[in-house]
Amino acid sequence: MNWAGPEFVLSIVAISTAGWLINNWVRARHGYALEDEWGGKTPRADDEAIGKLRTENANLREQLDRAHDRLANVERIVTDSGFDVSRQIDALREGRTQ
């Protein structure tokens, strides 16, 4: 191995990065605070914050479901044949054809 070449430097960087990733993976798996690139710690989210996020997520999913139902109703109204007949009658009243 050439000790002065770029391969040596790149291998040291790769080994250091892999060690840091493995260290954070083990810490996250066992519930410890994670370490950032400057040596600081990122605390784990507490159970109360997780509960609030889950509640907010459930509320947002409920709102999305309601919006989906409303959109389905609008699509049903627009694609209904009665709506098309109504539009044709309005076009005839205005003197234009479709």
Flag whether the pTM goes above 0.75. no
Place of tokens 């044949």: 81
DSSP 20-80: HHHHHHHHHHTTPPEE-TTS-EEPPPPHHHHHHHHHHHHHHHHHHHHHHHHHHHHHHHHHS
Query: Predicted confidence band at 92 (pLDDT cuts at 50, 70, 90)?
Result: confident
Which of 24 and 13 is assigned the larger pLDDT? 13
CB-count burial class (<10 Å; 0-12, 13-18, 19+) for 12: exposed
Strand 41-42 to strand 34-35: parallel, antiparallel, or no bridges (unpaired)? Answer: antiparallel
